[in-house]
Structure 1
């Protein structure tokens, strides 16, 4: 079963945005290098995707957590979705991005702790 539980925000530099959310809302973040930080303690995690690493996202990216990434990719494609970023690995799992028929870009991921 899929659940929408992760949102990434595109940011220029991660540190000032991370510090803003820490000060304004009391959130704590884990830094995953200079271009990514995440608050993963609540029902919906917040990722800050910076442009320092060259892989910045262009807009807010909602992500679905799924049990079977390949089956989800097949389901998205069969339902008329367009894969915009094929499956790739990241620290802690794998994911892909897609565009729905309304033009919205979202992602799906599976946790695979290392």
Structure 2
């Protein structure tokens, strides 16, 4: 059974220029393991936390994309806007779910995602 993950950090995503190069680097440096999900996305695991390498977005110097999980994307978006966030990327679908990006009060971009429901 999966623990409650609503409103918790769920993933960290690095936009990279080469997935193979990143896998070689982090595998050698830290012993991370990888699961490929097509040519533009690979999940990594450090044994405690999972995240991803993607070539589907531009490289963002300054840090990875922190992704939170929400049981209800529309509610999360309303709460964020009410708290002062700016939506930087409207909700979009990807294999397994949907997500949107927002800018916090200090200019950091984060994302919120939700899995597809079994009925979808």
Indicate the residue corresponding to 1:3 in structure 2: 8
TM-score w.r.t. length of structure 2 = 0.80
Q: Check the 8 A contact 1:5/1:43 in 2, yes or no.
A: no
Unmatched tracts of structure 1, length 5 or more = none
Indicate the residue corresponding to 2:58 in structure 1: 56
Q: Check the 8 A contact 1:82/1:98 in 2, yes or no.
A: yes
Structure 1 residue 24: deviation in Å? 2.3
Cα deviations by residue, 1:48-85 (Å, 9 ceiling, x for unpaired): 122xx4x3353521010111111101111111110011
How does 1:1-114 map onto structure 2 within 5 Å?
1-39=6-44, 42-50=47-55, 53=56, 55-56=57-58, 58-59=60-61, 60-112=64-116
Q: CA RMSD in A?
A: 2.0
Aligned length: 111
The structure number with the bigger radius of gyration is: 2
Dislocated runs of 4+, deviation >4 Å: 40-43
SS at match of 1:9: strand
Structure 1 residue 42: deviation in Å? 4.9
Unmatched tracts of structure 2, length 5 or more = 1-5
Structure 1 residue 36: deviation in Å? 1.5
Q: Check the 8 A contact 2:30/2:46 in 1, yes or no.
A: no
Structure 1 residue 22: deviation in Å? 2.0
